[in-house]
Structure 1
């Protein structure tokens, strides 16, 4: 009896500690986001009044055209998601994208919460946990490779625009990312490496938790087989969809500056997109809000951009790729919840 009470107290304490930690994390993350956004114009040598004057020039029909390009990018990415989970329709892929992004853009470290939501949705649609695990592995790998691909293109343009300074401050911070990708590719290339990798992680986990019975030595090779099967079957729509998505992201960024009357060369825009992709790999704030804007604006100003114009253009771009995803994803999630609760409600009434 005493042991049971002690375990209950321990469990309650851990739950309370976890909630307290989440609240503190949320407060710190929100404060960091607000602070970075407030300081954004000053960091690049401008003011909010100057930025507002530039943004006030955008006509409503130009915003509508930008929205079409934004939607086109999301639709292109749905091809990647549909090919990563055999049996998933593009409409459902778009739903996963919007709802997951909405959660990730609101909550601190919201990527995990968005993944959990997407897992629940795919389970409701009848997909197995193993299928979702393969889907998550494939989409994560493709997204990271795509981001690194944009960075590689930008680095190739360094001699033409002298943009090395845009990457010098961040290159060492993100060195583990390509290393991790190389390890994943190595694991995918050889089943023996996959088994050895899983066994090594098992040992590492048991070093810290002796009572934990990890079975990654068998799970990792199974996941490798699933990932390779999906990649072999869907590499064409994945490639085309991802390239179209990146092209439309670049087009949206270009158009955001064009409607403001700011002309930036293609190499400069590619560099800006690459810096933003790098910064989004470490989501310190929800959706990298604040970090993305400050880092990318600083890079563009270093490349000769006007501080007020650069800040306004980036805010317009993020208005679509970050801010608009929250209400649109929220409405999409509400519709999904409503449509998937109605059958259960009818069954309860019939009973």
Structure 2
């Protein structure tokens, strides 16, 4: 058990000491570039980041469908989830647990909260992989047969194929998927087979629901794509604010790579890893090192650090307001598709 904490901690220290610190040392001279910053562009980056967060919650609303709490409640839950993922060790797992409890308190059934989270996370990550893949393809004309690009493209292809196969198996061959999962769970022994089967069947039912309403699936994918593209646009605008206009292929490639690395359960939100990879990646694509450093650090301030205090405010407003009198177990205990007893937090679309 201690290895799960020690290994990521050691890796984080090594990354910060060997990669991040030397890069930040260059920021002393790079600070001279601040006089070139356009306040209009800086403000535009902030607006784009806010719009990205709003689009992310629209994904949540679409996935939950008619069982969704009010948008304002979901937005605060998603903001809380984002903030926790940026500070907690193993951030994504801890944040998922917090988000689950808040969704249940808001009136979402336990099964719906679990399956919606799984579908949303998987779909959103696949869309991110697609953004990265498009950037790679568009960049091939300029980077040619670069081995690193080829390896990255291969990893993305494998992940997309694996995810697509899993979705196809669960949605179209549920019984076979259940058999496989029960065999794996029986061998591993970490989860009760009945719980795993129930979870899988609920996901299959949700996927069938989406397949019977393709417009809803397309809407969810569109919001997820907009979420990532708005975030990438904020990065592009920040780089422009420091005097460099980056090409779209290079932007999507480096942004997609940074987003994928942020998913790794090594440091919260990829802290240290994202910066240590994106800065030299931009440099390799022609961005001056000082501009790349200031651009990435400034963008991470908007995308990573500022959401943390915002998450505290969002969580406080939920606990002191909307969800003050709710209890886990009394709300959201209904079966999928049924309406919980307290319905004042719901809208019906």
**Structure of greater Rg:** 1
TM-superposition CA deviations, 1:90-134 (whole Å, max 9, x none): 222321221111001001211111111111111111111111122
Q: What's the RMSD between the two structures over aligned residues?
A: 2.9
C-alpha spacing 1:241/1:59, structure 2 compared with 1 (3 Å):
same
| Residue 200 of structure 1: aligned partner | 180
**What is the rounded CA distance, in whole Å, between the counterparts of 1:320 and 1:271 in structure 2?**
20
Q: Does 1:222 align with 2:202?
A: yes
1:297–1:311: 8 Å Cα contact kept in structure 2?
yes
**What is the rounded CA distance, in whole Å, between the counterparts of 1:31 and 1:78 in structure 2?**
33
Q: Which has the higher contact order (CA 8 A, sep 6+)?
A: 2
Give aligned pairs, total: 322
Structure 2, unaligned runs of 5 or more: 327-349
Look up the SS of the partner of 1:85 in the other structure. Answer: helix
C-alpha spacing 1:82/1:32, structure 2 compared with 1 (3 Å):
farther
TM-superposition CA deviations, 1:276-309 (whole Å, max 9, x none): 1232232311101111111112211111221111
| Residue 155 of structure 1: aligned partner | 136
1:202–1:215: 8 Å Cα contact kept in structure 2?
no
C-alpha spacing 1:312/1:281, structure 2 compared with 1 (3 Å):
same
Q: Does 1:53 align with 2:32?
A: yes
2:20–2:275: 8 Å Cα contact kept in structure 1?
no
1:33–1:285: 8 Å Cα contact kept in structure 2?
no
| Residue 89 of structure 2: aligned partner | 108
TM-score (norm 1): 0.81
**What is the rounded CA distance, in whole Å, between the counterparts of 1:243 and 1:174 in structure 2?**
17
**What is the rounded CA distance, in whole Å, between the counterparts of 1:232 and 1:219 in structure 2?**
20
Structure 1, unaligned runs of 5 or more: 1-17, 345-351
TM-score (norm 2): 0.81
